[in-house]
Structure formats: structure tokens, C-alpha cells
Amino acid sequence: MNERTRISDNEKWQAVINCARNYDSLFFYGVKTTGIFCRPSCKSKTPIRGNVIFFNNAANAIASGFRPCKRCCPDKIIFKPELEIIKKAKDIFHTTYNKQVNLQYVSRQLGVSINHLIKLFKQHTDFTPIQYISKIRVDKAKELLKQGDISILEIAYATGYKSLSNFYKCFKDQTGYTPSEYKKSRGEL
């Protein structure tokens, strides 16, 4: 008899209620009303007990017509939620770098607090989210400056800066050159 069959449904249910990570590879649970299956450690809202069915593995859940949860990714063998948060944050930053940064909005989208987002991001990238966005903006500005046909003011606004002085400061801090010097050299610096 293997370890999976020795876990009672009551014990499994307690693991679900407590979001117990130590049960993650031992079983999965599906929610009949949503058609989604999760790991025991999933931080999604606790379902009603009567709507829950337990599975020994992800393949059985999929075969029964359940979809994997997008939050805990039970279909992945190795799942590191911190890395998923960082990846999603980077995706958001790369698509919205030219807009005003609202970390509260981003953290809500990712289901974490602002402080947790900043801590995780710094831990995994060596940048704060604001530093990372600034790097994206300067990299994009460098591309546009190499083209030579767009004014520095237009580039500053196109890359999300609200003032030319802030653009100059961030650009020089990261590259060691002013945008004008970089533009004249066509990126040869």
C-alpha cells in the first residue's frame, strides 16, 4: 500500500483547508462547480466540501475533465509560485513600461502585497520593480536614439518619462552618457 492510499479524505480535506504544501505531490483536488483542479497548497478560495473530489495525480484529474488551476499550476511537475509571480510581473512591466507605474495595481493583479512584490522581485532579479522598469525604458530609449530620426523629447515621452530632466537623469545614471551624446554616436558608445 503506497502513501497516497493511506491518506483519508478527511485528512486531505484538512490539507486543502490549511493550504498544506507538504501534501502537494500526494494528491490533487478538483472542484466540481468550476471544473478546475488544484494542489492542496493552492491559495484560491476554499471550496465547499461537497463540491470537492480528490485525485491521486494530475493525469486522473485531466482525464475526468478538470482543467488545471492557473494560480497553482498543478499540471507542472515543479512549480515555484515566486518565480511565476516574477515572470508575470516582468510581462506586465514589458508591456506597460511606457505608462505610469502603479505598483498597487500590479500587485493586486498578481495577488500579492506591494511589499511582497518588491521583496520577491529584488530577491530574484537584483532590481526593485521601479529600477527594472527604468532599465526597460532606457533600453527602449537606446533603440530609438540609434534610429536618429526621433527627437529626444518624443523618445522621453514614448518611453514613459513625464519630464525631460528625469529622462536625462535616468539615462545618464544607467549608461554614463546623456541621451544627446548617445544619439550623436548612434549607440557606438
Q: How far apart are CA 3 and CA 21, in angstroms?
A: 16
Residue that terminates a domain, selected from 68, 90, 110 = 68
| Set 19, 38, 42, 72: catalytic member | 38
Residue that terminates a domain, selected from 68, 94, 115 = 68
Phi, psi dihedral angles at 97 (to 5 degrees): -60, -30
Residue 181 in any domain: the answer is yes
What is the rounded average pLDDT for all residues in the chain? Answer: 89
CATH code: domain of residue 24: 3.40.10.10
Residue that terminates a domain, selected from 33, 68, 103 = 68
pLDDT value of position 117: 94
Which structural domain, as residue segments, surrounds residue 26?
9-68
Element (H, E) at 52: strand 52-55
Q: Is 135 exposed, middle or buried (0-12, 13-18, 19+ CB in 10 A)?
A: middle
Beta-carbon-side half-sphere exposure of residue 176 (alpha carbons within 13 Å): 2
Residue 2 has pLDDT above 70, yes or no: no
161 and 90 in a common domain: yes
41 and 118 in a common domain: no
Element (H, E) at 38: strand 36-38
56 and 119 in a common domain: no
Tell me the average pLDDT across 175-179: 94
SS3 51: helix
pLDDT value of position 3: 47
| Residues of the chain above pLDDT 90, percent | 67
169 and 115 in a common domain: yes
Is residue 19 among the annotated active site residues? no
Tell me the average pLDDT across 140-155: 92
Residue 3 in any domain: the answer is no
49 and 85 in a common domain: no
119 and 151 in a common domain: yes
Residue 135 has pLDDT above 50, yes or no: yes
DSSP 45: P
**Contact residues for 100 (Cβ-Cβ < 8 A; gap 6+):** 160, 162
49 and 127 in a common domain: no
> What's the predicted TM-score (pTM) here?
0.61
Residue 1 has pLDDT above 50, yes or no: no
8-65: per-residue pLDDT in tens? 889 999 999 999 888 887 899 999 999 999 999 998 899 999 999 999 999 999 999 9
21 and 94 in a common domain: no
At 97, is the pLDDT very low, low, confident or very high (cuts 50, 70, 90)? very high
pLDDT value of position 163: 93
Question: Left, alpha or beta for 135 (phi > 0: left; psi -120 to 50: alpha)?
Answer: alpha
Residue 67 has pLDDT above 80, yes or no: yes
Residues 160 and 125: beta-carbon distance below 8 Å: no
Q: How far apart are CA 162 and CA 169, in angstroms?
A: 12
144 and 109 in a common domain: yes
Residue with cell 508575470: 88
pLDDT value of position 189: 57
Helices 114-125, 129-147: crossing angle, 10 deg rounding: 60
pLDDT value of position 29: 96
176 and 94 in a common domain: yes
pLDDT value of position 37: 96
